[in-house]
Structure 1
Amino acid sequence: MPLDSSVIAALQQVSTATLTTILLKKGLRNVWMRGTKPLKPGQKRIVGPAFTLRFVPAREDLATPASWSSPISTRAAIEAMPEGVVAVVDAMGVKDAGIFGDILCARMARRNVAALVTDGVVRDVAGVLGTGLPVWCDGVAAPPSVAGLTFVAWQQPIGCGGVAVFPDDIVVVDDDGAVLIPAALLDAVLAEAPEQERMEAWIMEEVGRDVPLPGLYPMNAETKARYEAAKKGS
């Protein structure tokens, strides 16, 4: 299901660092996808439902250029992607086979896919950057996907960067990488995230005033009272 524009707007104001803190308080420690670094520094924060793709290790009879024409292929998966999704690809951390290159990324951009996130790598990096598709990955490699991987499925539960990702979970990406919000916890996160950002911004202001950290971060009762008073006065 597409995300409501108000949900996207709200989460675009919340850093992935803040989200990990909120989810940690709810008992979720493993929500940051390892190896998901912005291909181009300074990409804007992006929010979208996960559209999952899964690779397994290469098997010589299956991982061939001919497989690209199969009904079960990355090409077919891309054509199934709705507008606004974040494509999350389980490449098992393989770094010597590029899962997507410039042509596939260009098609995703044309289909208004919000971003590509993978614990693997991409190829044709200059061309990929030229498509304008925001990409988070673990680097680049010249060989194609079939040199090290076999594509097997889309819209199934996957593991990306050590995190369990289910279709339609919410993914937020920024310069710190990719963070997963379980779909069932979205409303709870939305209820807390803006306040967490406001509180941390106020704490930063206090640090700028040379306020010592003990009692400030985390707040003690006196600091909480000052913070509440400041909110009322703003």
Structure 2
Amino acid sequence: MPLNEEQRAALATITTATLTTVLLKKGVRNSWMRGPKPLTSGQERLVGEAFTLRFVPMREDLATPESWSSPRSTRAAIEDMPEGCIAVIDAMGNKEAGVFGDILVSRMAKRGVAGLVTDGVMRDGAGVLAAGLPVWCDGVSAPPSIAGLTFVGWQEPIGCGGVAVFPGDIVVADDDGAVLIPQALLEPVLEAGVEQERLEGWLISEVERGAALPGLYPPNEETKKRYEAWKASQA
């Protein structure tokens, strides 16, 4: 099921730090992608469904300038991206070849793609920033993708930053990186995440009032009762 606006809005209030904790409690330990970081500071939290793209190591007979015109190309994949999706690109952590540059990113922005997350690097850094598409990556590099990678397909299971990503899984990215929520766990993670943010906001207010940590964080039974009383007073 596609994300609805209510779900998107709720996820936008939950930090990736909170999401990793909630997912760990639900048995998902490997949810944070190693490598992707905001290309620039000040980007809003990114929320969307994963549209996956996969590169494999460069092979000389396939990674050629002619491949850019192939029906199985990054260009064709971009034209298949639905509005509001997040392009999640498996570059195997390669830092020597930029997966996308300014022209491709500009087209994605024009199509209403929400953002891009990759464990690889971008090229045309200034142009990518000017395009306005939120990007999480592992840096920038001048050479094109075919200098070190071969594009092989889209909308299939991939690995990005050591995390398994399936098309339609939910991605949330902020200043702490990018986190994957399995689609089947969206509702329970969303419910627990909203509650965790509310609890932690209250805990911070208690710390600011001078409360000591033992018994507060994690909360003991007395603290839980005080929190529930506070929550009831806010209803």
* TM tier, smaller: over 0.9
Please name the residue that 1:127 is paired with.
127
Within a 5 Å distance, the mapping from 1:104-183 to structure 2 comes to 104-183=104-183
- Supply the distance in 2 between the matched residues of 1:95 and 1:78 (Cα, whole angstroms): 22
Cα shift at 1:2: 3.3
Code of the aligned partner of 1:176: D
Tell whether 2:73 aligns with 1:70: no
Please name the residue that 2:18 is paired with.
18
Please name the residue that 2:3 is paired with.
3
Cα shift at 1:38: 0.2
Cα shift at 1:207: 1.0
- Supply the distance in 2 between the matched residues of 1:189 and 1:28 (Cα, whole angstroms): 11
- Supply the distance in 2 between the matched residues of 1:221 and 1:2 (Cα, whole angstroms): 39
* Structure 2 unaligned spans of 5+: none
For residues 193-221 of structure 1, the C-alpha deviation after alignment (integer angstroms, 9 at most, x for no partner) is 11110000001111111211111110000
* Structure 1 unaligned spans of 5+: none
- Supply the distance in 2 between the matched residues of 1:181 and 1:160 (Cα, whole angstroms): 13
- Supply the distance in 1 between the matched residues of 2:42 and 2:214 (Cα, whole angstroms): 33
TM-score, reference length from structure 1: 0.99
For residues 105-139 of structure 1, the C-alpha deviation after alignment (integer angstroms, 9 at most, x for no partner) is 00000000000000000000000000000000000
What's the secondary structure of 2:84's corresponding residue?
coil
In the alignment, is the contact (CA less than 8 A) between 1:87 and 1:117 conserved in 2?
yes
What's the secondary structure of 1:32's corresponding residue?
coil
- Supply the distance in 1 between the matched residues of 2:233 and 2:27 (Cα, whole angstroms): 34
Cα shift at 1:230: 1.1
Spell out structure 1 runs of 4+ moving beyond 3 A.
none
What's the secondary structure of 1:33's corresponding residue?
coil
- Supply the distance in 1 between the matched residues of 2:191 and 2:90 (Cα, whole angstroms): 30
Please name the residue that 1:37 is paired with.
37
* Matched positions, count: 234
What's the secondary structure of 2:117's corresponding residue?
strand
